[in-house]
Amino acid sequence: MNILDKLKHGKILLSDGAWGTFLQEKGLKPGECPELWNITHRSEVRDIAESYLLAGSDIIETNSFGGSIFKLSQYGLEGRVSELNQAAAAISREAAGNDRHVAGSVGPSGKMLLMGDITENELYDGFCQQVTALEKGGADIIIVETMSALDEASLAVRAARENTKCTVIVTMTFSGDNKGDFRTMMGVSPEEMVIAMKEAGAHIVGSNCGNGIEDMISITRAIRRTDNTIPVMIQANAGIPEYIDGKTVFRESPEMMASFIPDLIKTGASIIGGCCGTTPEHIRAMGRAMVKA
Ligand SMILES: [Zn+2]
């Protein structure tokens, strides 16, 4: 069944957890291109996908967050965009089979339209190349994630809507001030996101990264104030990263994150997973909490 039909029938879906921090655990070195691992370390990448499927994920992502030409060119891999994205989706599809969903991950380009780094056409074309390769590799969803600028997110969503048959999700990264007002790095509020992303054609909106799970409840509430019907996806970090002895530490335990799931669902989130620092154990605990909620 199409994911949108499942959501229409009231299903709550479990997504997956972190890929970046998981790849580092498997030996990805700083300065190494994560997406090249889809070719050079295929079995390690597949192992990540399988770990999340075993934990109960209904949706798994792909190792393609930095797979746009803009990011790959930093490694001299600009000629391999299609190959690396197609491989990313193929690995996740192979692991997921046909019953579960594969969401092709599209992260920010690192370029800013506002600063004149790039033109709209260049950005759109770059995202087109990435999303069509992800669909070709087997993705049935495109997830545009960790976005902070509305113009860039809109172009990525449009590229996916206009050039693939995939369901399109967009999630942005917010941080809150002490009054509970949430904005992206570029000053976008959750309310502004919903309006602009619906206009661009997104089927599902939400938030990922930046926050632990508790703040995601406030963000979901802000989205719901603006729109009562669009499905909301939330992928929280295992807390805000702390740097201790030169290492990044995420403090939210699987149990702690799971304890917020009932409230998150009540507020209106219907696809829930994790971002940085979350592991298959976090996903498993969240899945259990969903069944009970
Ligand atoms: Zn994250």
pLDDT tens, 224-239?
999 999 999 999 999 9
Tell me what pLDDT residue 54 has. Answer: 98
Residue % of the chain over a pLDDT of 90: 91
Tell me what pLDDT residue 240 has. Answer: 87
Q: How far is the CA of 20 from the centre of ligand 1 (A)?
A: 8
Q: Is the pLDDT of residue 125 over 90?
A: yes
Structure tokens at 185: 């790095």
Residues 6+ apart with CB under 8 A from 201: 157, 158, 161, 162, 168
3-class SS string, 18-31:
CCHHHHHHCCCCCC
Torsion sign, CA atoms 172, 5, 89, 122:
negative
Name 269's bridge partners. 232
Q: What is the pLDDT of residues 105-115, one digit of tens each?
A: 999 999 999 88
Q: How far apart are CA 69 and CA 26, in angstroms?
A: 25
Tell me what pLDDT residue 208 has. Answer: 98
Q: How far is the CA of 248 from the centre of ligand 1 (A)?
A: 12
Q: How far is the CA of 274 from the centre of ligand 1 (A)?
A: 8
pLDDT-based confidence at 96, cuts 50/70/90? very high
Q: How far apart are CA 2 and CA 140, in angstroms?
A: 9
Structure tokens at 141: 């969803």
Residues 6+ apart with CB under 8 A from 226: 190, 191, 194, 195
Q: How far is the CA of 65 from the centre of ligand 1 (A)?
A: 11
Q: How far is the CA of 1 from the centre of ligand 1 (A)?
A: 28
Q: How far apart are CA 203 and CA 167, in angstroms?
A: 6
The gap between the terminal CA atoms of the chain, to the nearest Å, is 23
Q: How far is the CA of 275 from the centre of ligand 1 (A)?
A: 4
Q: Is the pLDDT of residue 293 over 80?
A: no
281 touches 214 (CB < 8 A): no
The one-letter amino acid at 177: D
Q: What is the pLDDT of residues 262-292, one digit of tens each?
A: 999 999 999 999 999 999 999 999 999 998 8
100 touches 69 (CB < 8 A): no
Q: How far is the CA of 210 from the centre of ligand 1 (A)?
A: 6
pLDDT-based confidence at 211, cuts 50/70/90? confident
Q: What is the DSSP letter of 63?
A: S
Residues 6+ apart with CB under 8 A from 17: 52, 55, 273, 274, 275, 278, 279, 280, 282, 283
Q: How far is the CA of 266 from the centre of ligand 1 (A)?
A: 23
Name 293's bridge partners. none
Q: What is the pLDDT of residues 194-207, one digit of tens each?
A: 999 999 999 999 99
E strands, 36-193, are 59-61, 101-106, 141-147, 167-172, 175-176, 182-183
Mean predicted confidence (pLDDT) in 136-157 = 98
Tell me what pLDDT residue 280 has. Answer: 97
Q: What is the DSSP string of 146-182?
A: EE--HHHHHHHHHHHHHH--SEEEEEE--EE-TTS-E
270 touches 7 (CB < 8 A): yes
Q: How far is the CA of 11 from the centre of ligand 1 (A)?
A: 25
Q: How far is the CA of 146 from the centre of ligand 1 (A)?
A: 7
Return the biggest CA–CA distance within the chain.
49
Q: Is the pLDDT of residue 146 over 90?
A: yes
Tell me what pLDDT residue 56 has. Answer: 98
Tell me what pLDDT residue 48 has. Answer: 98
pLDDT-based confidence at 150, cuts 50/70/90? very high
Q: Give the burial string for 23-44 (b: 16+ CB within 10 Å, else e).
A: beeeebeeeebbbbbbeebeeb
Tell me what pLDDT residue 253 has. Answer: 96
74 touches 36 (CB < 8 A): no
